[in-house]
Structure formats: structure tokens, C-alpha cells
Amino acid sequence: MQSGKNIFFDNVLIIGVGLIGASVALALKEHRASVKIYGYGRSEQNLKNARERGIIDNYSMDIHAACQNIDLVLLSTPVGSFTDIVFRMRSSLKRGTMVTDVGSVKGRLVYELESMMPEGIHYLGSHPIAGGDKSGIDDARGDLFRDARCIITPASKRNSDCEQKIIAFWETLGAKVELMDPSLHDEIYAAVSHSPHVIAYALVNALESINSQYLEYAGQGFKDSTRIALSSPEMWKDIAIYNRENLLQALHIFKKNLDTIMCCLEAHDATGIQREFLRAQILRMKLK
């Protein structure tokens, strides 16, 4: 892990002090105690809490006041709020400020955010893959990003100074940084994360449709399969909407694969069922 001297920001504003925002704050303080961290968010109670626990140094409920003299803005609210927040704050950012985010969706969103930046202010999208189904500062940890993957998604206007500093920022927090095209990012994450979330939510709802009392008989298999249905509906609704096309495509492909098994079942085709199960088992075994 790199030392705190690779954090090139003196004043950091965290917009949305939840699990990820607060974990970034804790990690930053661990690596460079002199960094000043400011918070902005919807709930003053949450910001007060974060200040009392020393997660942030101060906060403001006014976005313009919060932006004063900030070197790095980290957007860590649900992705659906990013453009609105940037629209409201952009006139208050000083020249040279860098803006990044921690959203699970990139694609068109990063081009849109980039195009909203005033002259002299650089935006670069980030997606640290950490946090799981938790949310809120109670679960925040300074080591949340250690050995986590962090995908950086440059858009149209590449700025090497900004890229270097954002990469160094995440690396100092322990993440393994990887650059990726924003559209590819969204296609991949629709397949490995966004569609599994939707399927998990639908699977729990199916149990409710059948008989919610059967939940009593749910064992480890059901628990593991649906753990991600514990994730924040607000956050995941935004991810679903913003990655709508890729997500719908991944879900259609999933349904086709499910239909293949269901057709075998309808036809009492035991060989076909075993073939489909085996195909999945072989691929799943590659995942450690």
C-alpha cells in the first residue's frame, strides 16, 4: 500500500456520508491525518453523527457553503442524484477541483457528468467494488477498500493529472485500480451484479407470492441466494434505471436460460436438465 503522501488533496467533500462515503473518510484519515473532510447530505442527524464520531471534520446543509475551497468532491449518494447535485454545486467549485464518484453505474452517466463540469474542473468516474448489502455509517471501516477492485472509467476529455491523482487516491486506500471503458463497465456489471440483484429481489417476492410462512423453512441455500435482496431499494432502483438497457438484456438472457431448464422439466427430459445443471456447475467451479 502506498503512503499518505500520494493523497494530493487537502480538502475533501464527501457528498452522501453512508457506508462508502464514511469508509473513504476513515481510510483517508488513517493515511493522511492532516486531510480535512467535509460532509454534505440530506440528513443533518447523520452528518452530526459522522462529525461526533470523527468521521468528518465538519459539514454544511448548504451545498454552496460545503463546496468552498474543496480540492476533491466525492459523490457517494445513490447514482440517480448525481446530475442534480452537480447541477446545483458546479458554480461554487473553485478552478482545479476534481470530482469523482463511487457509483455502480457508469456508461452514459459519466459522459453527462463530464459535460456538466465548468472550465477547469475535472470529473473522472470511479467504482470501488466494496460494501456488499450494507449501508450507513455504522458499518463503515477504514480498510473497506483494501484489496478491493476499483474501476476508473475515463470518458471523452482525458486529463492525465486528474487520472494520476484519482488513481493514486484509490491505490493509497488499498484498492486495485483498473481502467475501463464506461459502456463495457455497465455491460459487465449488468451481468455479474445488477441482474443477480434483480433476480434475488424477485426470488424473495416469489416466496411471498407462494406463501410467506414457508420462509421458516428457508435454509442456507435460500439465505445465500437472496442475501443481496437486503441491499438498499433506493440505491438499487437508481442502478436499475441507469443501467436499464444492459440490465434488461441480461435478464432476458437469464430468462432464456431458465426457460431451457423449464422446457426440459415440462418434457420430463432428465438428461437435458442434468446437462444444463452440469454446464453451470463447471463454470461456477472456476470462481474461487
Least distance CB 84 / a second copy (angstroms): 14
Amino acid identity at 18 = G
Residue placing its CB nearer to a second copy in the complex, 1 or 265: 265
Nearer to a second copy, 30 or 133 (CB): 133
| Closest distance to a second copy from the beta carbon of 178 (Å) | 9
Distance CA 71, CA 8 (A): 9
Closest residue by Cα to residue 99 from 115, 84, 81, 114? 114
Q: How many helices and strands (H and E) does the chain possess?
A: 12, 9
* Minimum distance from residue 197 beta carbon to a second copy (Å): 7
What is the nearest approach in angstroms of a second copy to the Cβ of residue 110? 18
CB of 161 to a second copy, least distance (A): 28
Q: Within 13 Å of residue 127, how many CA atoms lie on the same side as its CB? A: 24
Shortest distance, position 242 Cβ to a second copy, whole Å? 10
Helix (H, G, I), strand (E, B) or coil at 13: strand
Torsion of CA 47, 112, 189, 85, to 10 degrees: 10
Question: Which of 61/192 has CB closer to a second copy?
Answer: 192
Please state the closest distance from residue 258 (CB atom) to a second copy, in A: 4
Give how far Cα 150 sits from Cα of 129, 174, 180, Å: 6, 10, 10
Nearer to a second copy, 74 or 200 (CB): 200
Closer to a second copy by CB, 179 or 278: give it: 278
* Relative orientation angle of helices 244-266 and 270-285, to the nearest 10 degrees: 140
One-letter amino acid of 180:
M
Nearest to 127 by CA among 160, 155, 149: 149
Nearer to a second copy, 17 or 198 (CB): 198
Instruction: Give the distance, in angstroms, between the CA of residue 187 and the centroid of all CA atoms in the same chain.
Output: 15
Q: Under a CB-based contact definition with an 8 Å cutoff, are residues 75 and 16 in contact?
A: yes
User: Residue 173 or residue 229: which is nearer to a second copy going by CB?
Assistant: 229
- By DSSP bridging, strand 98-101 and strand 125-128 are unpaired
